[in-house]
Amino acid sequence: MSAVAPTLEAFFTQRLMSQKRASRHTIAAYRDGFRLLLAFAHDRCGKAPSQLEFDDLDAPAIGAFPDHLERERGNSAQSRNTRLAAIHSLFRFAALRHPGHAAPHRTGACHLAQALRPDHRAVPGARRDQRAPRRS
């Protein structure tokens, strides 16, 4: 079994249910979002959801997921952002349990947040230039 499955289970039981005391509606929304993500990852890499590794849920895969939601499922920006917030929360939780998967970056959450920003989709891990644009 991969590290993703037990981490996802712990995320629901420990983080959402015990620590956050999330409502049943929130838990159901997160469940549905992760089902979609796991199905998307399965289609993308051909692995069964129980065999997926964190490396299969890398920045390009997570970055392509919102496009898939909008294009294939017709999700609104609000639905897309809700699902991305759930993924972001999972990766923050997972970074504490599996810091080796966040090695090139301080935390998986930072890496994920960069991957989800539109200006970082083309080049995973790239940083946007913060300087003011030059005027001619």
pLDDT tens-digit series, residues 2-60: 889 999 999 999 999 999 999 999 999 999 999 999 999 999 999 999 999 998 999 99
Q: Is residue 125 part of a domain?
A: no
CB of 61 closer than 8 Å to CB of 116: no
Q: Is residue 135 part of a domain?
A: no
Global confidence as pTM: 0.71
Residue 123: strand, helix, or coil: coil
Give the number of domains in the chain: 1
Give Cα 79 to chain centroid, integer Å. Answer: 14
Q: Is residue 132 part of a domain?
A: no
Q: State the residue range of the domain holding 27.
A: 4-120
Q: Is residue 136 part of a domain?
A: no
| Residues 115, 45: Cα–Cα separation, whole Å | 19
